[in-house]
Homo-oligomer: A and B are copies of this chain.
Amino acid sequence: MTTAGSARRLSRDDWLDAAMTAMAHGGVRGIRVEPLAKAMRTSKGSFYWHFRDRADLVRATLERWEQLETDRVIEVVESTTHPRERLRRLLAIAHRQDPERPDPSVALTGDHDDPVRVVLERVTARRIGFVAEQLMALGIAPEEAARRATLAYTSYLGYAALVRSAPGVLPADQAVRRYIETVLTVLVSTTTEHRRDG
């Protein structure tokens, strides 16, 4: 009976897995030890053996999150060579409507004490920086690229917020692809206009 469901001993990693899932739903503040223990069918006694306190768990979870949702995503995307394709691929990943995704809720829930903010600031800067690099590779001037990267990234965050709070207004599954094309096109547009309007 060494089945997974049985009363096995738990590792620190088991707790981290659970914390990631919890963070996907409720953000950082969704990481609560008593509900976590209940979900894992164990007790707080286990938790406080593996972790000093809740802050310890939060910090460790954020480390893993950074590694998984930033380092690894960037690695994957960089396996494509063409900058425009990289962006397209990145946008596709970013707009996958998956409420199980731990990523955006981190940036979206708004309490955030200092330790959390530090990680968030670092991750955000890296992400926007990566997008800006691709835009520069496409011939956009550095400062303009930075602005457009910020536009792209904030849009990603807001999109994720709407997935949770008002999914009805977002493009339906089939239309997401078209939406991404619009974002991409607009991001790399050469602004040759200033045309008259209606």
- What residues of chain A have their CB less than 8 Å away from a CB belonging to chain B? 25-27, 82-84, 105, 107-112, 117, 120-121, 124-125, 128, 137-139, 144, 147-148, 150-151, 153-159, 161-162, 164-166, 168-171, 178-179, 182-183, 185-193, 195, 197-198
Contact at A84–B197, with CB atoms within 8 Å?
A: yes
Q: Quick one: which of A107, A164, A169, A187 has the most chain B CB within 10 A?
A: A169
Contact at B161–A121, with CB atoms within 8 Å?
A: no
Q: Which residues of B contact A195 (CB under 8 A)?
A: 139, 190
Contact at A187–B190, with CB atoms within 8 Å?
A: no
Distance between A180 CB and nearest chain B CB, rounded to angstroms: 9
Q: How long is the Cα–Cα vector from A110 to B106 in the complex, in angstroms?
A: 10
Q: Which residues of B contact A168 (CB under 8 A)?
A: 121, 125
Contact at B166–A121, with CB atoms within 8 Å?
A: yes
Contact at B197–A139, with CB atoms within 8 Å?
A: yes
Contact at B138–A197, with CB atoms within 8 Å?
A: yes
Q: Give the interface SS of chain A, mostly helix, strand, loop or mixed.
A: helix
Number of copies: 2
Can you pick out 24 interface pairs between chain A and chain B where the beta carbons lie within 8 Å of each other? A26-B110, A108-B108, A112-B165, A117-B165, A124-B166, A125-B169, A137-B197, A137-B198, A139-B198, A144-B182, A147-B178, A147-B179, A150-B179, A151-B183, A154-B156, A154-B157, A154-B161, A154-B162, A155-B158, A156-B158, A185-B191, A186-B186, A188-B197, A189-B189
Q: How long is the Cα–Cα vector from A169 to B146 in the complex, in angstroms?
A: 10
Q: How long is the Cα–Cα vector from A22 to B138 in the complex, in angstroms?
A: 44
Distance between A136 CB and nearest chain B CB, rounded to angstroms: 8
Q: How long is the Cα–Cα vector from A61 to B1 in the complex, in angstroms?
A: 55
